[in-house]
Amino acid sequence: MRYISTRGGLIPATFSDILLGGLAPDGGLTIPEEYPVLAPGELAGWRGLPYSELAFVILRKFADDLPAEALHAQIDKTYTAAIFRSEDITPLTPIGDSVWLLELSNGPTLAFKDLAMQLLGNLFEYTLLKNNGCLNILGATSGDTGSSAEYAMRGKRGIRVFMLSPHQKMSRFQTAQMFCLQDPNIFNLAVRGVFDDCQDLVKAVSNDAEFKAHHRIGTVNSINWARVAAQIVYYFKGWLAVTTRDDQEVSFAVPSGNFGNICAGYIAKRMGLPIRRLILATNENNVLDEFIRTGVYRVRKTDQVAHTSSPSMDISKASNFERFIFDAVGRDPVVVRELWRQVDTHGFFDLSGTDAFRAVARSGFVSGSSNHQNRMAIIRWVCQQTGRIIDPHTADGVKVGLEYREQGVPLLCLETALPAKFEESIVEALGRPPERPAGYENIEALPQRFEVLDADVGQIKDYLVRHTS
Ligand SMILES: *Cc1c(COP(=O)(O)O)cnc(C)c1O
């Protein structure tokens, strides 16, 4: 399998070539030259496979340049009951008649990002050790991504993580989760400022190409291809768990922000998994819902992004969306470049009435959005029905999923975080906090390790220089 860029400027590359990278050199996103398509009977042969075996047969199609044993070893090391607190890795819980939660949040940071990030940590370490390399990951976080990256990279040889977060602006639980890590390769930098300041600082450092190269600075944001690839696996796992016939269709409801999670579902469908609908759910920041309904992709300015009670979906633009649009416009990089030029100059593009937009509907996408009141009502409803407490992001997905539910079609709602991460919202909805998983009871009381810095590029660079040599 070879990888190209959505903007046409990448000489076809292997999985290993693009594994550690972010954006392609031409500013586009990397994507397989062709999606692998399942052979007749192949899916039937996967029934009953444990998660790690299933992950191997799927990911081998995308990472065919790694030695099979090495890939297998990294996957086996990743998807264990010890790390994901369940033999199934992604178990199902019924929440209604033919409606399930696909539990994706039992990993170390209690959010679905662990499923991909934990594998990424192992693949990064393997690749760096093989090439005698090292990598200094610089990132900015308002919560989920940063902790997921730190828990995936902690203790890994050849890797350091420098994670900027807004000083005293994350929830106590999220802060504790990150700052309690004592691993010497993890550096928590609390920046006096807001999340956007952190992001600007990362950009400023990354734009200094010489500094970046000299100090081997890299990223692990959601555009990383391997993260999308690893997420494809649980769509197969979920489908296999609720079907008995090989042509049976299933719909998935996906709480969406940067379009990474649902992009993986779309690719699973392209590979031949019988997915009926991909139900895209947003919160009040409805950039993607607007596109699916109207064909207009209109990014928001930072000050137009609402701060909601499902904060990991508070986005101004959807960084993985370009992968999907590349397919929708017939894989023409000239068109993709023109569309993103329009986004850069006018803030939007409009595909309404075009073949590209008809292709979007044909791909099975439908969408909806929800607001704070909807989330609260859904959390209460699911709890009344089943005794189960879901988190506000998952509630966005369940709300929109139920709107598109069809007789006879199993509906899998992706659980993207555990409620313990968002205690305040649960108390508001139910009048009591959710239970915490074992080991997280007193996380706020653990000793914390972090450094406070000003929102100043000079200070950040200076810190990096002192800690990367
Ligand atoms: C990251 C995240 C999302 C959004 O996922 P995307 O891949 O960005 O669409 C939804 N819910 C939670 C809890 C998250 O952490």
Which pair of tokens denotes residue 285?
A: 């920041």
Q: Judge if the beta carbon of residue 158 lies within 6 A of ligand 1.
A: no
Q: Judge if the beta carbon of residue 396 lies within 6 A of ligand 1.
A: no
C-alpha–C-alpha distance, residues 179 and 176, integer Å: 5
The question of whether 77 is a catalytic residue gets the answer no
Rounded to the nearest angstrom, the distance between the alpha carbon of 256 and the centre of ligand 1 is 6
Rounded to the nearest angstrom, the distance between the alpha carbon of 283 and the centre of ligand 1 is 11
User: Which pLDDT does position 64 carry in this prediction?
Assistant: 97
Ligand 1 test: best mutation among 101, 110, 258, most atoms within 8 Å of CB? 258
Rounded to the nearest angstrom, the distance between the alpha carbon of 95 and the centre of ligand 1 is 21
Q: Judge if the beta carbon of residue 144 lies within 6 A of ligand 1.
A: yes
217's CB contacts (< 8 A; 6+ apart) are: 136, 137, 138, 205, 206, 211, 464
- Closest atom, ligand 1, to C-alpha of 258: 8
User: Which pLDDT does position 319 carry in this prediction?
Assistant: 87
Q: What is the pLDDT along the chain (469 residues), one digit of tens a residue?
A: 999 999 999 999 999 999 988 788 898 999 999 999 999 999 999 999 999 999 999 999 999 999 999 999 999 999 999 999 999 999 999 999 999 999 999 999 999 999 999 999 999 999 999 999 999 999 998 878 899 999 999 999 999 999 999 998 888 898 999 999 999 999 999 999 888 889 889 989 988 989 999 999 988 888 899 999 999 999 999 999 999 999 999 999 999 999 999 999 999 999 999 999 999 999 999 999 999 999 999 999 888 989 899 999 998 889 899 999 999 999 999 999 999 999 999 999 999 999 999 999 899 999 999 999 999 999 999 999 999 999 999 999 999 999 999 999 999 999 999 999 999 999 999 999 999 999 999 999 999 999 999 999 999 999 999 999 7
Selecting among 113, 237, 269, 421, the annotated active-site residue is: 113
Which domains does the chain show, CATH number per domain?
3-86+111-222+461-468 (3.40.50.1100), 92-110+225-430 (3.40.50.1100)
Rounded to the nearest angstrom, the distance between the alpha carbon of 99 and the centre of ligand 1 is 21
User: Which pLDDT does position 150 carry in this prediction?
Assistant: 97
Q: Judge if the beta carbon of residue 260 lies within 6 A of ligand 1.
A: yes
Cβ of 17: how many Cβ atoms within 10 Å? 15
Q: Judge if the beta carbon of residue 222 lies within 6 A of ligand 1.
A: yes
Q: Judge if the beta carbon of residue 256 lies within 6 A of ligand 1.
A: yes
Q: Judge if the beta carbon of residue 313 lies within 6 A of ligand 1.
A: yes
Q: Judge if the beta carbon of residue 261 lies within 6 A of ligand 1.
A: yes
Which pair of tokens denotes residue 450?
A: 């972090």
Rounded to the nearest angstrom, the distance between the alpha carbon of 392 and the centre of ligand 1 is 11
- Closest atom, ligand 1, to C-alpha of 315: 8
User: Which pLDDT does position 303 carry in this prediction?
Assistant: 85
Q: Minimal CA–CA distance to 406: which of 283, 262, 277, 291?
A: 277
The size of the chain, in residues, is: 469
Rounded to the nearest angstrom, the distance between the alpha carbon of 311 and the centre of ligand 1 is 9
C-alpha–C-alpha distance, residues 350 and 348, integer Å: 7
Q: What is the DSSP string of 99-124?
A: EEEEE---STTSBTHHHHHHHHHHHH
Q: pTM value?
A: 0.96
C-alpha–C-alpha distance, residues 86 and 383, integer Å: 22
User: Which pLDDT does position 261 carry in this prediction?
Assistant: 97
Angle at 119 (CA atoms; ends 115, 121), nearest 5 degrees = 120
C-alpha–C-alpha distance, residues 174 and 199, integer Å: 18
Rounded to the nearest angstrom, the distance between the alpha carbon of 415 and the centre of ligand 1 is 10
Ligand 1 test: best mutation among 259, 313, 418, most atoms within 8 Å of CB? 313
Q: Minimal CA–CA distance to 202: which of 277, 155, 145?
A: 145
Angle at 436 (CA atoms; ends 435, 439), nearest 5 degrees = 145
Q: Judge if the beta carbon of residue 367 lies within 6 A of ligand 1.
A: no
Q: Judge if the beta carbon of residue 258 lies within 6 A of ligand 1.
A: yes
Query: Count of alpha carbons within 13 Å of 103, Cβ hemisphere only?
Result: 20
Strand partners, 137: 161, 218
User: Which pLDDT does position 25 carry in this prediction?
Assistant: 86
- Closest atom, ligand 1, to C-alpha of 394: 11
- Closest atom, ligand 1, to C-alpha of 421: 13
